[in-house]
Amino acid sequence: MFGKNNSNNLKLLPQAKGQYLPNEPLSKHTWFGVGGPAEVMYYPADNQDLSWFIKNKPYNLPIFLIGSGSNLLVRDGGIPGVVIKLNSKFYRKWSLHNNTITCGAGMKNSELKKIMLSNNLGGLEFLVSIPGSLGGAVRTNAGCFGKELKDVLIGATIIDGNGSEIDVSANDFNLGYRNSFFPEDWIITALTLKVFPQPSQETLRILDEHKNYRLKCQPINAKTAGSTFKNPNGLRAWELIKKTGSDKLKVGGAVVSDIHCNFLINTGKATALDIESLGEEIIRNVKSATTITLEWEIKRVGVKK
């Protein structure tokens, strides 16, 4: 986007308190462990820093926000422009109020466990078991075990495309099944969620129940990005994949999990193209056999190499 001279590229960006890293390998930032580089990675120090960046960046500079990379496939050519990651201590702060918790968008879902247990809180157990960060959970309306983010989200703080910091309500995100509908230039920096008093022993029981289910039924220790396809209305993606024999497919270093066939696995040698090609082959097979078109749940971004 900028050009081949990375030192000149950085000179085009506004001075920031945070950190700029040119040609940062995004394979280090995704659960699949594949993908090309970010042309520039930017770690803002706080909302003031991020707002300054948005207000003073070059016009039409491509911006992409990355969370923990758990539901993401970055193509082998990488992502042009600036990739923003909310990874400073500022974006992992939290505070409790009356039956609510406000957390920075950079907090990992798993970090909620310690907070809930030490403060005798319940209501967010389903989130703890979902890989990823809280900010990313909004974009996909993350959910499992019968609950979705929309069931607990009260509101959020965002930085908009003009660099303004605004508080918005849960309704402004238009959350639906595994998706949302809000302006692409909104950057979520904090969320406020519903919680309720609950003995830590009960919270731990539920968390252990969820963990044991995942250990038994999902390939949680593999290089995967979670569920690959959305469940069609009234149907289950994994059943359609198995029914069409697509659970045995392999492309390069990418395979279908033998534990749960709606999970694609990087065996350690896969490229992003291998993984995406495997997913597209599954879609073709299912459509040919059933006329149903599976939709990607994993977000695919970047440039093909």
E-strand stretches of the chain: 19-25, 37-43, 63-66, 72-74, 79-85, 94-97, 100-104, 121-122, 143-144, 147-148, 153-159, 165-169, 187-194, 196-197, 250-251, 254-256, 264-266, 299-301
Residue 209 corresponds to which amino acid? Answer: E
Structure tokens, 59: 């016009």
Q: How far apart are the first and last CA of the chain?
A: 15
Tokens 């997913």 correspond to 279
Query: 153-159 and 187-194 as β-strands: parallel, antiparallel, unpaired?
Result: antiparallel
The answer to whether the CB of 18 falls within 8 A of the CB of 43 is yes
Non-local CB neighbours of 109 within 8 Å, separated by 6+ positions? 127, 128, 129, 130, 131, 132, 133, 134, 137, 142
Query: Hey, CA dihedral for 126, 44, 171, 168, is it positive or negative?
Result: positive
Which residues partner with 84 through β-bridges? 42, 65
Query: 143-144 and 147-148 as β-strands: parallel, antiparallel, unpaired?
Result: antiparallel
- The active-site residue out of 27, 68, 129, 227 is 227
- The active-site residue out of 88, 133, 178, 246 is 178
Non-local CB neighbours of 98 within 8 Å, separated by 6+ positions? none
- Does residue 133 have an active-site annotation? no
- Does residue 236 have an active-site annotation? no
d(CA 206, CA 258): 26
- Does residue 297 have an active-site annotation? yes
Q: Which residues are catalytic?
A: 178, 227, 297
